[in-house]
Structure 1
Amino acid sequence: MRVVSGKFGSRSLKPVPGSKTRPTTDKVKESLFNMIGPFFNGGTFLDLYAGSGSVAIEAVSRGIDKAILVDHQYLAIKTIKENVEMTKEKDSFQVYKMDSDLALEKFSNDNAKFDFIFLDPPYKDQKMVEQLEYIKKSSLLQENGIVICETDDNVNLQDDVDGFSLIKQKKYGITIISIYKIKG
């Protein structure tokens, strides 16, 4: 596992030990960033199920100003902190050990706004539709912000989730990347 491109490109990242976390492959990560824009001029990125932190680190490597990483698992948080340390840019990251729903509530209470929100929960624990609805209701996205959902081919996300429109979707093996924008 590595950073694919940008200022941290080719640097190795540690995976989360054990089998509780499924990392996004380098191929899927590269494709995801090709779909949303290969490089950025600032912005904020929320990774709600951060695992090793590789997707958020990739976002900062490609020009995102600030990445917020959330995971509820101790080993994931430990790994994220080690991987963030490798960047030598700790100020570009905020790491939270908490449940995803509690994190969304916290960010809503803080009036936080994100340009990108990445949802990649454990495939067996899908609650993306509910979280998309909460993101919309709580106004957590910037005006032109997007939500990126990573699922497997057993999860059937609708083209239009209440208040959102599907703008892109691609399949990579059993992995599906769906990108949503708020309607209107």
Structure 2
Amino acid sequence: MNTIKHTEYKHNGSRVILDTCELAPGKYETMLLYPNGHEIACRTARTEADAIADFDELLTAYPADTKPAAPKPLTGKYAKLRDDLRKVYEIGKAAAAQVEDGGTCNLDAPSLLLPRWQSAKIEQACKEAGCGCFEWKCFNRRWVICFHIPGQAYKRETAAEVMTKALADMGYDALTYCAID
């Protein structure tokens, strides 16, 4: 058996192998299969040119996944969330700058209850606001908003509490997430 053409790629989110080989003189086979050996498609040919044409046809019929498109611009409540997070970040940095950084190191941060909001758009809003987030399922489905605050103890605690209050004043159901590092 002699491989003539070979490629591996992702199709519909799964890794696949496309291979054309000469099994014997005048007998060619082109197969598209999963790495575990399960066959997706198979074609046989009598000439190398026909086998390569089969390869190209299968590659067209089962194309490689393309990169996901850039996310759509945020609108409505998601754009407002992004803009509000940018504002409270500045408020938190200013509050942290006013205190000494003594005490216990922590990962305190504001958290928001955002029922029926889309996770991907919340994450996009946070990313565009210059922060991160994660889902906290201890009290319903809350989102902990992770800002980069200079400091690791009282500065973080102060910033988290001030940002939580600012978010509550903006109309969000906000709660301070507290965690000792």
Short-chain TM bin: under 0.3
Structure number, greater radius of gyration: 2
Instruction: Provide TM-score, normalisation by structure 2.
Output: 0.24
